[in-house]
Amino acid sequence: MYCANCGAELKGEQVHFCPNCGKPVDDTATDTPQAATGAAPAAKVRSGMRLWVKILIGVVVAIGAIIAIAMMATAPLVDPIEAHLALLREGKVAQAWEETSGQFKSSTSQADFERFVAGNPKITQIKSHSFANKSRENDLGEVRGTLTADDGSSIPVFYRLIREQGEWRILSISFNPADQKQ
């Protein structure tokens, strides 16, 4: 017989304790040496994770899901802005005005918009953007960030958008929006 704990040979029929590791010998003794290498008994491996690890993994997964949902919900807000900037870069100011919301067009004539663009020529030279803050509530959206012109200059910008007939449209554009609601 051999010790079920360390694999040492148990000599004699009435052995109650393993002479190698001292563990009580009960009905778990085996007919084959399991750890007969003479090495110290291996620590028992705990099966399963500790509860706090499971909770931590659950929290991380939940936070990741919330972030992913928020990003998917606000991602469509950038599309009309990018399309608008592309039209302005191509010099299609009238078409860019046409692509804005009905409220924008009713409060800003095409001539006023053309004057706005002429007074802010860098808006026709935007090569990239970074929109750090995006939010939406029902059919209104806000996008705040920075536009970068060809010369490397940065323009802080704040867009308000509205959903019209299933599509997001620009409601207002503000440069250097320090005084805008955060």
| Per-residue pLDDT, 40 | 46
Place of tokens 């950038």: 78
Place of tokens 């250097």: 176
Domain 77-175 has CATH 3.40.309.10: no
> Is residue 101 classed exposed, middle or buried when 0-12, 13-18 and 19+ CB atoms within 10 A define those classes?
buried
3-state secondary structure of 180: coil
| Per-residue pLDDT, 34 | 57
Task: Report which secondary-structure segment, H or E, holds 55.
Answer: helix 51-74
| Per-residue pLDDT, 29 | 61
Largest CA distance in the chain: 108
Q: Contact, 111 vs 51, CB < 8 A?
A: no
| Residue count (the chain) | 182
Tell me which residues of the chain have a pLDDT lower than 70.
27-48, 69-75, 177-182
Percent of the chain scoring above 90 in pLDDT: 41
| Per-residue pLDDT, 170 | 93
| Per-residue pLDDT, 179 | 46
Domain boundaries defined on the chain = 1-45, 77-175
Closest CA to 171 of 104, 93, 112: 104
